[in-house]
Structure 1
Amino acid sequence: MRQNPSFAMTDVTEMRRLIDAHPWVTIVSDTEAGLVASHYAVLLDPTRDDLTIVGHVGRPDDLIHGLGQSELLVIVQGPHGYISPGWYGDGPAVPTWNFVSVHLRGVPEILTSEENLEVLERLVDRFESGLPEPRPMWQAPNDEEFVRRLEKGTVGFRLTPTHVTAKRKLSQNRPDEVVDTIIDRLDAGASPYADPRLADEMRRSRDAMRRAREGQG
């Protein structure tokens, strides 16, 4: 991902927030057979306060990716969407696409079976917790034999990235009044491109920039 200083995202807390809110990632490896991409859910490592993530792949994806043997790329995609030139005002303009994304690169560590079980349990708990009747991984009718057989079909990993590129392209190069208008359009349900999540990301970016300007004044 080409970086642009105007759109660079460097705050680790913000990157952790994005990863936590958007755990469905793309995993890319450059193998002898060519580029390979897979899609899995990941979690931030609860024992760390950096950008270390944990997750798993199903067999034989571990062999296809050469998991643990070479560097891979994990792409975290946050809210994104179309921005109409009509939202800029009356001057000349073309459309663009606003987005937030984090790229993590590094060589993953392969987890033990017990560590992988813990990650699988946390993944299930994470997504079941929002349901009215959550069903944890170890709850009946699942039994230990079933769960451990399930684990053997996966390979867990921990990735502490050695290279991070994060980008928040949210109309920071536009005047304040234009940014406010775009946020309003994204919040408006009448537009086919309305997306309150993208509007929220733009508010965070806008407010941070305004606080920084006030601090310099």
Structure 2
Amino acid sequence: MHPHTAFRSDDRALHEALIEQIGFGTIFAHTPDGPRVAHTPLWSTGDGALQFHLARGNALTRHVAGHDALAVVNGPEAYVSPRWYADTAQVPTWNYVALELEGPVRQMDPEGLTGFLDTLSAREEARIEGPAWTRDKMGADDFARMLGGIVGFEMEIKAWRPTFKLSQNKPDADRQGVIEALEQRGSRALASLMRELA
């Protein structure tokens, strides 16, 4: 993560929106076999906790509960060419949005996991046109069998480390050149964030 203070944000609502909109991230933790990573859907409870689930056979599943872990949510990113600046005697860089979350993890009970899955599927189904899928579309035995294949976790977020690297350290004319180039190249989400946040 870039250490420049211009790229930091203390806006918790913005952080929560990033988790909500992306909905997916990476969990890192140390295990007896060394560092491990898992990729998983994420849900912020809105009160300082992050919920996720892992396959029962995942290398992290047996070791993450009771320990600190790191979650990373990656937002839009794109290469930035110096030719988009008024002064091209600069080096290339990368603009990006990322959020690191760190804290202790506990394992959820089956009821908590079921509630998390219902909430998660409702969020994602609302983004798709047509009648929403709900778990009542499958039999209770089928759901119980599928539920047995995963383990739910909740992280108490002790540290929020956001980076919104959106050319804030550049003159307005350079930033506008980057925004226009990103829009032309199809990186509209990043260009939009540059317009709105920096």
Query: Do they fold alike, i.e. is TM over 0.5?
Result: yes
Distance 1:121 1:197 in 2: 28
Within the candidate set 204, 209, 217, 2:196 is matched to 204
Match of 2:70, as an amino acid?
A: L
Q: Which has the higher contact order (CA 8 A, sep 6+)?
A: 2
Within the candidate set 95, 101, 105, 1:104 is matched to 101
- Relative to 1, partners in 2 of residues 1:2 and 1:33: Cα closer, same or farther, differing over 3 Å? farther
- Relative to 1, partners in 2 of residues 1:122 and 1:62: Cα closer, same or farther, differing over 3 Å? farther
CA RMSD of aligned residues (A): 1.7
Q: Give unpaired runs (5+ residues) of structure 1.
A: 207-217
CA contact (8 A) 2:105 2:155 kept: yes
The answer for the alignment partner of 2:3 in structure 1 is 3
Q: TM-score, normalised by structure 1?
A: 0.85
Distance 2:73 2:117 in 1: 19
Match of 2:36, as an amino acid?
A: V
Deviating beyond 6 angstroms after TM superposition, the runs of 4 or more aligned structure 1 residues are: none
Deviation at 1:64, TM superposition (A): 4.7
Tell me the matched-pair count: 198
Identity %: 28
- Relative to 1, partners in 2 of residues 1:31 and 1:56: Cα closer, same or farther, differing over 3 Å? same
Within the candidate set 151, 166, 171, 1:170 is matched to 166
**Superposed CA offset, 1:34-93 (max 9, x none):** 110110011111xx344x211211102275551212111101101111011110124411
CA contact (8 A) 2:107 2:154 kept: yes
Q: Give unpaired runs (5+ residues) of structure 2.
A: none
Distance 1:40 1:86 in 2: 37
The answer for the alignment partner of 2:142 in structure 1 is 146
Distance 1:28 1:44 in 2: 17
The answer for the alignment partner of 2:56 in structure 1 is 59
